[in-house]
Amino acid sequence: MLLWELVWKDLRRMFRSPFAVGMAFIAPLFITGLLVLAFGGISSGSSGMSAIRLVVVDLDQMIPGIVAKAGTIVTQVLSAPALSSLFRVSAVSNEETARRMLSGREADLALILPADFSQAAFIGDAQTRLIILHDPTLQVSPQILRSIVNDILDNFLGSRSAVSGALDALQAEGFSPDPALADQVVQRYLVWVNSLTPSAGGSGQVLETRSPTQPVSSKSNPFLALAMAGMMIYFVFYSGAAASLSILHEKEEGTLARLFVTPVAKAAVLGGKVLSALLLLVIQVVVLLVSSSLLFGISWGFPVSVVLASVGLVACAAGFGLFLMSWVSSSRQVGTVMGGVLTITAMVGGLFTVSIPNMPKAFQTAGLSMPQGWALQAFRLSLNGEGVLPELLPLAVLLALAVVFFVWGLARFRRRLA
């Protein structure tokens, strides 16, 4: 009851400080949001939607005698389930409509397939142009579209050169193949390509593995989720330190002395500080997990694993903050300590490099020399979809560190405030 009064006072003060709220809730989401924009995963104007809205204008004309139409194949490949998290495709009949949708921000990109597209792709006797229309502020998503379309076109060119190569070889051997045979070969090849597309029951796997760009939607991008985890851990540690900084502030403002002249035990006053730090961090982690999954589509893993990772993070960050502040003699030094120690330990812990793909394994191992590294490990496991058992190791390490930090930090504070 009394503890709750102390905690409630601290939480009220914390939530009335715009700076504290900004650092606890807004900064981590904002920085991750910037990363998302840089990756191009979220298109401008779409709120909370990670797929690029693509309109296809298919003006392609069927070539007599050939069963497939290049325009249809491209459209179908782009709408394949494997790419559904990247593109949301809709078709319109003419360029004007597409332009209108772009300027009305109903679409992010438009792909125009010209009338002689099949002619150019299958027969190769026409010069043609595919046109990608986009908002000039979009940089990344047009690139992605272009490389995927190029990839599809390579298939056609490949098929054409394969057939003509075969024909040339036959001719060199003295055969004079029937032009009808060549037609047949091309037709069969195109039927096969067609079978890869979903409408024909194919899986589209071949195209996906060949695409030169990783699909960038956050749902399928583990690096974005890890980046968010890194940011969350950094700012939860920050808030843990800020919560214990309030002990120093209250000491300097004299309100701590004032509490000590009331009949409330000194242990209760310090206990209240610990409890309010823990509670603040719990609120922070819950808000960050929920809002990042809503905003960026991050799925954090099995609920039990996420809870275990969060418990470890909260306990360890609160303990570390208390321990850190017990070494700071006045709140004037705090800028250096917060900026320096928290940032360096976070760096070594790997929080800032986590979203860089293909980092050497040694980095991850070195990160485990810091409490932040273990917190990151806990969330990495839960993001990988691990269950309870693998979570227990990082959880145990985080809780053990928390106990050490709490005991040591509290002992130091008790001595200082005696």
Where do contacts with other proteins occur on this chain (CB under 8 A)? Answer: 2, 5, 9, 12-13, 16-17, 253-255, 257-265, 418
Residue 389 or 418: which CB sits closer to other proteins? Answer: 418
Residue 210 or 258: which CB sits closer to other proteins? Answer: 258
CA 278/CA 266 separation, integer angstroms: 19
Interhelix angle 303-325/388-416, rounded to 10 degrees, is 20
310 close to 246: Cβ distance less than 8 angstroms: no
Say which residues have a Cβ less than 8 Å from residue 330's Cβ, sequence separation at least 6.
Answer: 248, 252
Residue 245 or 351: which CB sits closer to other proteins? Answer: 245
Query: 58 forms bridges with which residues in the sheet?
Result: 113
Distance in Å, CB of 255 to other proteins, minimum: 5
Residue 153 or 268: which CB sits closer to other proteins? Answer: 268
Reading the block at residue 380, the tokens are 């990495």
Residue 12 or 188: which CB sits closer to other proteins? Answer: 12
Of 413, 22, 401, 409, the closest CA to residue 239 belongs to 22
Distance in Å, CB of 21 to other proteins, minimum: 12
CA 80/CA 206 separation, integer angstroms: 12
Distance in Å, CB of 369 to other proteins, minimum: 38
| Secondary element (H or E) of residue 150 | helix 140-172
Pairing of β 52-58 and β 87-92 = parallel
| Secondary element (H or E) of residue 412 | helix 388-416
Distance in Å, CB of 16 to other proteins, minimum: 5
| Secondary element (H or E) of residue 87 | strand 87-92
Residue 18 or 201: which CB sits closer to other proteins? Answer: 18
Distance in Å, CB of 382 to other proteins, minimum: 36
Residue 193 or 279: which CB sits closer to other proteins? Answer: 279
Distance in Å, CB of 45 to other proteins, minimum: 39
CB atoms within 10 A of CB 23: 17
Distance in Å, CB of 277 to other proteins, minimum: 17
Residue 17 or 93: which CB sits closer to other proteins? Answer: 17
Reading the block at residue 144, the tokens are 């992605």
| Secondary element (H or E) of residue 54 | strand 52-58
Residue 36 or 280: which CB sits closer to other proteins? Answer: 280
Reading the block at residue 256, the tokens are 């701590």
CA 35/CA 172 separation, integer angstroms: 56
CA 234/CA 28 separation, integer angstroms: 8
| 316-to-25, 54, 321, 357, 388 alpha-carbon distances in Å | 19, 45, 8, 27, 19
CA 9/CA 3 separation, integer angstroms: 10
Distance in Å, CB of 268 to other proteins, minimum: 10
Residue 20 or 111: which CB sits closer to other proteins? Answer: 20
CB atoms within 10 A of CB 400: 14
Q: Please, what is the end-to-end C-alpha distance for the chain in angstroms?
A: 25
Distance in Å, CB of 12 to other proteins, minimum: 7
Distance in Å, CB of 329 to other proteins, minimum: 15
